[in-house]
A and B are shown apart, each in its own frame.
Chain A
Amino acid sequence: QKEVEQNSGPLSVPEGAIASLNCTYSDRGSQSFFWYRQYSGKSPELIMFIYSNGDKEDGRFTAQLNKASQYVSLLIRDSQPSDSATYLCAVNNRVAGANNLFFGTGTRLTVIP
């Protein structure tokens, strides 16, 4: 059973602070890692993907991957109230010639004005 685990939260941070979201995965063969943001009642929106160990930055978002520790994280700098959402960590595994995403249960983030 491939597992992706996240702290379900809720995680509350004040506006302007750094929000840190964490995710661990069980399948050491996983190669691709994704962070999706999902607002209540909406569909998941891809905000970051990372394939190699290290950090990847895009605007206020930084994804960090450590394959040896089977750990992936998302940092949100200068958090804004509009960042309040559920953040889903997803790990890709190739099954039967197609990509299969395994999702964590999500971390609910609240940014307090």
Chain B
Amino acid sequence: GAVVSQHPSRVICKSGTSVKIECRSLDFQATTMFWYRQFPKQSLMLMATSNEGSKATYEQGVEKDKFLINHASLTLSTLTVTSAHPEDSSFYICSAPQGAGETQYFGPGTRLLVL
């Protein structure tokens, strides 16, 4: 299957700071990538669709000014959590589609803890 990486895998930051998470497709190109958030023992929640060369599409209820997405190239999308607060602490996972049925392949996730 296709390989997607994320960096960092874990980050702890102070309230009010910004955190950048990178998502890379390692062995394929992705014009679209997806960003999810998952709170403990809850379902995956799609936050936004990252589009190479154009603006991201945000799901209802997700603040685009707080969660900045940049799809800089065909293999890289970044999610920046601006002015992070403790309630933003969560597991952030990206995915990129590839192959049959546009199967989504997930990165390993980034665990964010805001103190």
Do A and B pair up? The answer is: no
